[in-house]
Chain A
Amino acid sequence: MKQNISLIIDNHKVVVPEGTTILDAAKSIGIVIPTLCHMNLKGTCADNHPASCRVCVVEVKGRRNLAPACSTACTEGMEVKTSSIRVIRARKTVIELMLSDHPNECLTCPKSGKCELQAVTQHLSINETPYAGELSLRKKEMTASIIRNMDKCIYCRRCETMCNVYQTVGALGAVGRGFNTTIAPSFNKNLKDTDCTYCGQCVAVCPVGALTERTYTDQLIDDLENPEKTVIVQTAPAVRVALGEEFGNAPGSIVTGKLVAALKDLGFDYVFDTDFSADATIMEEGSELLERLTKFLNGDKKVPIPLMTSCCPAWVNFYEHNFPDLLNYPSTARSPQQMFGAIAKNYWAEKMNIPREKLVVVSVMPCLAKKFECQRPEFSTNGNPDVDYSITTRELATLIRRANINFETLPHMEFDNPLGESTGAAAIFGSTGGVLEAALRTAYELHTGKTLPKIDFDEVRGMDSLRTATIDFDGFALNVAIAYGLGNARKLMEEIRAGKSKYHVIEVMACPGGCIGGGGQPLHHGDFEVIKARQKAIYEEDKNMPLRKSHENKSIIEMYEKYFGKPLSEKAHALLHTHYSDKTIKY
């Protein structure tokens, strides 16, 4: 049992549990101390507290130096001043120093307006830059997903924590020392030559404009303006529960109808839904699970069990780079984004009689790895990609604002058909545990022929980053594991490698809480409550759907009848499945 501690902050008496930091204690009475390097997604291992930016320093009576509020625990009887002249002067100087090694290109910086350094600078009303001098030597680089502009780096090391501690990818790390220290891939290589999975968590937590997404908005505008082209869009399930935040709605607001309306206003010819292809994913992946399980139960020792989900493109990159010996475990089903592209440019295009090269498929995703995924060569035909490009939730918000669309007054509109019809099973794809639950709903009913007594699999839901459950699969005890964060996934993979995995199915998503915490989502600024609110909305969305099992989706049924035959058919394999290859980096 933790004891309570009482202390005085700016003349207010505060009582907090033992171990509380000065920062949190101050916050509890409404005193906000500015921070930059600090970030703690409580409940995940994404905890960055190097106490190195020194912006949050406060005066503690009896201490010789100023103390960083983010990492100094409260002690009994402590007296803290959070805004004495000494403190403000120190904070100002620290920020002035940062600005002296910063390009100060705020006007054209993609992070402008959302930049935490800019916010602190304004908060401290710093109106000039008294210090100037040499700028540290740093690198600029652009990949399919991420732009690194390290000139702007303030060395908070949040990205390093996400990449190493949370994801265990280790693409980025601290390099050099002193003034020229930077965060970079080994040997200062480009990200594309590293184990980077493009999960985008570095971008999601970067307080400044050093790490940003590569935008495709200008290309999109060009295509929308081009009368020769039919431009269609698919939107991922996590987008509709987060986009509202960009327009001042509370986290967890569901804005599906407005989202559709906005996309139509922007000029898309058809507004479709990735949820449709998520249902297709379940048909394929669920069938694959059943196929493998049946063989397994019949004593086939070679069949790769556990089956692992393969919807998350960062996760796919991760195992191709780190577990080339286990590539037969993940499901071969393509991700919903890529299934949608393949369906749109084949099944739908044929139906609509649109030539492939005149059809532009755009996706709106909560994700940066999706940008990389649609550029994979295996997802294109004669150089024409199934999904032309992917934009993030944030980019969409930018487009809406730029097009002068008043989000608040938009009507609620419905997705176009047939690629807009979906079930609640697809809606929950956006949350950790969702893909597995959706698969269970379908696999159970296809396997047993019975109707599920209860649709909600509460045992796989939650926000813990590594969860396990045993499901009664009509008498068979099905062991499942759900992980988010590639560090947790690594643990599960290492168990498989060691032959010690007891699971039959594993779901992996790279980002905190799943796609709802994706690298392309509105910035959470370190507040995990935002992501929890989005999860709540996802399950709300599911509950409100008339149909909640993928195999009940009428358009899906029709598509199989008319085009693919049945799940895992030859045609389905050609268009809806993929293959993996060893992508280990050689030095």
Chain B
Amino acid sequence: MEKLCNSVVEKIRAICDKFGNKPGELINILHESQHTVGYLPMEVQAIIAEKLNIPVSRVYGVVTFYAFFTMVPKGKHPVSVCLGTACYVRGSEKILEEFKRTLGIDVGETTEDGRFSLDCLRCVGACGLAPVAMVGEKVYGHLNPADIKKIIKEFSQD
């Protein structure tokens, strides 16, 4: 396993301290840690467990329960396809299929070059624009399977 650098370790410890090292704050701590590191590797979870004086298995149990937490680094451009009902009835499944095919990865995976990762979301809240997908923070609405290649191309350069 890749070792975390000391500054990251210190940051995680500081996050735990900020929340008073309380086990009840585990989810808040995980949110901030993931925000800091980008994902929640084993070592981060072990540090949190140690600081909160709880078994690592409890931290891991929580991390694997909630969809928001990930132990895999996301791509540079995370793609999220909304699979909320409004998007679904307007054909979001086909959008997802097209992203899968274009990127050559499945949901939850990251492309080999680390540029893109693919995920599903429950609802972006832009139901008026359904079907919707996001690349990073940018929202694309009224999508058609034919649009996907173009969108990926937009991000393939940088």
Q: For residue A327, give the distance in angstroms from its CB to the closest CB of chain B.
A: 19
A179 within 8 A of B: no
Structural contact, A587 and B45, CB atoms closer than 8 A = yes
B54 within 8 A of A: yes
Nearest B residue to A586 via CB reads B46
Structural contact, A186 and B65, CB atoms closer than 8 A = no
Structural contact, A170 and B54, CB atoms closer than 8 A = yes
- A170-B57 CB under 8 A given contacts A187-B42, A587-B43: yes
- A164-B55 CB under 8 A given contacts A175-B60, A177-B65: yes
A248 within 8 A of B: no
Q: For residue A493, give the distance in angstroms from its CB to the closest CB of chain B.
A: 13
Residues of chain B with a CB closer than 8 A to A587's CB: 42-43, 45-46, 56
Compute how far the CA of A19 lies from the CA of B58 in the bound complex, rounded to whole angstroms: 31
Indicate with 1 or 0, residue by residue over B45-83, a CB within 8 angstroms of chain A CB atoms: 110000000111111110011000000000000000000
Q: Which of A172, A176, A177, A586 contacts B57 (CB 8 A)?
A: A172
Give the secondary structure class of A's interface: loop
Residues of A within 8 A of B (CB-CB), count: 19
Q: Which of B45, B56, B64 contacts A170 (CB 8 A)?
A: B56
Structural contact, A186 and B43, CB atoms closer than 8 A = no
A373 within 8 A of B: no
Compute how far the CA of A585 lies from the CA of B55 in the bound complex, rounded to whole angstroms: 11
A58 within 8 A of B: no
Indicate with 1 or 0, residue by residue over A137-169, a CB within 8 angstroms of chain B CB atoms: 000000000000000000000000000100001
Q: For residue A52, give the distance in angstroms from its CB to the closest CB of chain B.
A: 15
Residues of B within 8 A of A (CB-CB), count: 14
Q: For residue B62, give the distance in angstroms from its CB to the closest CB of chain A.
A: 9
Compute how far the CA of A175 lies from the CA of B61 in the bound complex, rounded to whole angstroms: 5
Compute how far the CA of A376 lies from the CA of B110 in the bound complex, rounded to whole angstroms: 43
Compute how far the CA of A184 lies from the CA of B55 in the bound complex, rounded to whole angstroms: 13
Compute how far the CA of A65 lies from the CA of B54 in the bound complex, rounded to whole angstroms: 37
Q: For residue B53, give the distance in angstroms from its CB to the closest CB of chain A.
A: 10
Structural contact, A173 and B57, CB atoms closer than 8 A = yes
A243 within 8 A of B: no
Structural contact, B64 and A175, CB atoms closer than 8 A = yes
Nearest B residue to A194 via CB reads B57
Compute how far the CA of A169 lies from the CA of B55 in the bound complex, rounded to whole angstroms: 8
Compute how far the CA of A184 lies from the CA of B43 in the bound complex, rounded to whole angstroms: 18
A195 within 8 A of B: yes
A171 within 8 A of B: yes
From B43, B46, B60, residue with most partner A Cβ within 10 Å: B60
Q: For residue B143, give the distance in angstroms from its CB to the closest CB of chain A.
A: 28
Structural contact, A195 and B55, CB atoms closer than 8 A = yes
Compute how far the CA of A176 lies from the CA of B54 in the bound complex, rounded to whole angstroms: 18
Q: For residue A337, give the distance in angstroms from its CB to the closest CB of chain B.
A: 28
Compute how far the CA of A169 lies from the CA of B57 in the bound complex, rounded to whole angstroms: 10
Residues of chain A with a CB closer than 8 A to B45's CB: 186-187, 587
Q: For residue A205, give the distance in angstroms from its CB to the closest CB of chain B.
A: 18
Q: For residue B72, give the distance in angstroms from its CB to the closest CB of chain A.
A: 13
Residues of chain B with a CB closer than 8 A to A172's CB: 57
Q: For residue A3, give the distance in angstroms from its CB to the closest CB of chain B.
A: 35
Compute how far the CA of A174 lies from the CA of B56 in the bound complex, rounded to whole angstroms: 12
Q: For residue B127, give the distance in angstroms from its CB to the closest CB of chain A.
A: 26
A185 within 8 A of B: yes
Q: For residue B13, give the distance in angstroms from its CB to the closest CB of chain A.
A: 15
Compute how far the CA of A195 lies from the CA of B59 in the bound complex, rounded to whole angstroms: 15
Residues of chain A with a CB closer than 8 A to B65's CB: 174, 176-177
Structural contact, B42 and A176, CB atoms closer than 8 A = no
Q: Which of B42, B43, B46, B55 contacts A173 (CB 8 A)?
A: B55
Nearest A residue to B1 via CB reads A587
26 inter-chain pairs at a CB distance below 8 angstroms, sorted by A residue, are: A164-B55, A164-B57, A164-B58, A169-B55, A170-B54, A170-B55, A170-B56, A170-B57, A171-B55, A173-B55, A173-B58, A174-B65, A175-B61, A176-B64, A176-B65, A185-B57, A186-B45, A186-B56, A186-B57, A186-B61, A195-B55, A586-B46, A587-B42, A587-B43, A587-B45, A587-B46
- A sample of 4 more A-B contacts (CB under 8 A), given A175-B57, A175-B60, is A169-B55, A173-B58, A186-B59, A187-B45
Q: Which residues of B contact A (CB under 8 A)?
A: 42-43, 45-46, 54-61, 64-65
Closest 6 CB pairs of A and B: A170-B55, A587-B46, A173-B57, A186-B60, A186-B56, A186-B57
